[in-house]
Structure 1
């Protein structure tokens, strides 16, 4: 008699039964180039594929490592890249590897091929294959060439506004890092120095943008402001990674139960929708134990059997807002108890998130 499982342990290679070398959890997605081989460490969960944009050169070998973060029974995702004749089916917890040569130039959608939920059509991204021997005219530049002076000025103002908003995020991260003495921790210090190096290149671009605007060349000013945004994104990406590491250094120590809860949270796919301290595909869980009467029991019951709470006014409002119902991730009682301890630890350190 076969004793089957309804889900894989997170990150399982189905051919070996062991943990796959490409296992990726929420927040660990990345793109790594080694010579002419590009490795994409991605995740799939209702309702997105992460990363959503991948750029490679024509002739590169491309490997997609994909992990299905779902824990709900039968919540299978498919994956294919248009025109490249590759496909995989990913049951919950499974990690697969798809390798092919990017020998076609162009933009190729990749998407989920299983009707997984009402948000199925949102599960897609784009593989952009460039010929390294060609020069491409940016779509943004073509768009601006057709704009009136008034439209160009509006575009400039919008670009500057985005940069200003991004800079506020960066400054808040820098303040956190300095207030918590990032320099005490070598790995974090190296990340911060890398981030500040990127940020230090902005002043020169800002000077060029201002000079172009003063000379009446709004189009060129926009291009320099776009370059500023690129440096800001690189700064923010590295800076936020440094902040996440620093939080663990300065937070109150985790109990053994809370540490197990964090592992269950990540391995159980919860991070696919919930990002601590931020609103993502689902609500921020900071303070969730205080949102309900007898919060620990409420959260426990919800995780164990989500559908029993779907008519709760609060849950119903969240379902309508995010257009998504929380799935049953098949958690065991002990795992849920540990997750509650992890949520308590989050609340004890809520000022850090």
Structure 2
């Protein structure tokens, strides 16, 4: 294997579950990927294998040499694709500052790098890791193990790529992880929870479907269509895991129809959706009528909670999109307002955050200052 000349080399290690090994904090050399400066007394292959063992306790061997080189803050950087010799279980032991991350989790981590060259380098390498994970076919979550291999599971995997695309807003945030996507799994779990709590019932479902039947482009219509896709895909997911393939196929066809409708009415993936999201209508996300009747919502308190979360967690502005900011803070905002006695639909909060990022002077100032 011919090794490109470089000042530094980093290791790409993708585990059996499709997760990538990263440092928890940037290292003295490089960022989150384990990276080494070329020593005078070792080959690049030996140096990177030794450093991976030193930082993680994992024994690895070089499986392939990256053909591309990248330019970081300290010069040219090459990479090796490495494979485990020992067990993944060593990760997480005391004294090791590394962990396994999903591709999306890794992207969020890397977004905190303030040096643009380092950010671009590590995101480029992460794209290589994502390709390796995709080709491996590894499942991040064990919940699907019982249905792996049947035709229904294969069709569900395909539709999950569409779900990820729609939920992520496309562009650089769309990693084609599909059934392994944090967004997709998170949506399925959240929607299933809402169904079990009675927040989504037959009446709610009928209201959503009546909104999308109008077949007219608007902010409200798009959000309702995404909600219909979420509900229908969660039904398909439930039928799949229970082995009810008749129910699954019916729900699956429903998802296909709604995805086709979404792509026809809202082409252009994420950018158009984001622009409509924070410019459409009044530009203000409203709580549902049902929620508004049941509880009094303190808008000032919610606004302050969002501003506090932005101050604490908004990533470096150079690679911040509004959708990625929402993804980063929505969990904290949702749980914080709930702890303060305010009941608010999660989707409404997402819309409110988007609106504040576009129109609230204080929120815009926080993001702009990063």
Q: Report 1 or 2 for greater relative contact order, CA contacts < 8 Å, sequence distance ≥ 6.
A: 1
**Normalising by the residue count of structure 1, what TM-score does the alignment of the two structures yield?**
0.25
Higher strand share: 1
Higher helix share: 2
**Normalising by the residue count of structure 2, what TM-score does the alignment of the two structures yield?**
0.24
